[in-house]
Amino acid sequence: MNRLRRCLLIASALGPVARAARAELDYPPVARRRLEFPRDFGAHLPYRTEWWYLTAVLNADGSPQPALGVQLTFFRIRPPVDPDNPSRFAAHQLVLAHAALADARRGALLHEERIARAGFGIAGVSELDTDVQVDRWRLQREPGGGAYRGSVPGTRFAIELTATPTQAPLLQGEQGYSRKGAAGGGAAPASLYYSEPQLALRARVSIAGSSDSNGAVFGGRGWLDHEWSSTLLPPQAAGWDWVGFNLDDGSALTAFRIRSKDPDDPDGARFAYASLRAPGGAARTFAASEVAFEPLQSWTSPRTRAVYPVAQRIRVGSRRFETRPLMPDQELDARASSGIAYWEGASELLEDGRVVGRGYLELTGYAGPPPG
């Protein structure tokens, strides 16, 4: 789904900034328009939230079994700071980053974060193409072939990766205009949103304390979402469930539901969406009535006591898929920094009892209400 997903998560970190701000900002609403590349690979500074979200489920060299989930996300957030404030220290833009490794071999999740205001060479984004950086963490797109290069020199682990497109960008929703609710009597929450599925990804991963000082090399398929918006979820939303899966036949599956606080809403959802694109074909989108999520396996966090449906059955049109996590404990507990906790899990995708793809399932709002 949207990284309204994630920036909504991170938006809670801006509470102190928002309360301290004296000026009201008019964030531009999202409107339908034609996405233009390479410009729209870059940042969109007037909007409130934006993210570049890269995930992959990878194999170690020489092994057919999935061994590692990799998640690297950069966020740009425009706080409610007076745009006429001339101070170089004014936080007109914030850049945040999350990185996580789901190590199925060790049954461990490693997670680190960075945050800084743009400027002073510490953090920044480009409006021309994907180039976002905070501290020494960076994600950059090469203008020629379009490959992404990511660098995460963390404290507990380090990642150096290259993700090369094998397919054209996938425009989500209505040619990139992605609704997050029914239109109703007013404007529905929405974003501009595209994905780059089936990325050919290679990563060198080093873990502190590991016997391999040079790191291990992993390979597989990755997924990148880029999304921007000024609109948060409606107040009736309890959270969201989202999946992005690369199928072994080259297809790409996206699906999400926005869960409702109202127990009388059908299937507990206020809105749902899915798209499925076969290799070389056009994406087919599915109406909310054609999409359903059903929990299959729950896991209770020993830290937050949240109960997450870490395996789900997902109906998309006439097809039935099931997700299976690489390991149950993939909760990102960021309460000490951004104030939230959520489940972000590397998973396998099954259909008719056999594995047909790999990707990520994201679950928010289970450890507390989503930021509003």
Q: Please state the pTM of the whole predicted model.
A: 0.89
- Report the percentage of the chain scoring pLDDT > 70: 84
CA-CA distance, 43 to 80, in Å (whole number)? Answer: 18
Question: What tokens does 44 get?
Answer: 């969109």
Which burial class, exposed, middle or buried, applies to 201 when counting CB atoms under 10 A from its CB (0-12, 13-18, 19+)? buried
Burial of 197 (C-beta count, 10 Å sphere; 0-12/13-18/19+): buried
Q: Are 116 and 129 in contact (CB under 8 A)?
A: no
CA-to-CA distance for 39 and 37, rounded, in angstroms?
Answer: 5
Task: Assign 20 a pLDDT band (cuts: 50, 70, 90).
Answer: very low
What per-residue confidence (pLDDT) applies to 25? 64
> In sequence order, which residues have a C-beta less than 8 Å from that of residue 230 and are 6 or more positions away?
27, 28, 29, 30, 47, 48, 49
d(CA 288, CA 272): 4
CATH topology of domain 4-29+36-363: AttH-like fold (2.40.370)
Q: What is the DSSP string of 254-306?
A: EEEEEEES-TTSGGGEEEEEEEEE-TTSPEEEE-GGGEEEEEEEEEE-TTT--
pLDDT in tens, 188-241: 788 999 999 999 999 999 998 777 667 899 999 999 999 999 986 777 888 899
Note the helical H segments in the chain.
4-11, 15-20
What letter does residue 25 receive in the DSSP assignment? -
CA distance 247 to 310: 19
Comparing CA positions, the residue from 135, 189, 195 lying closest to residue 169 is 195
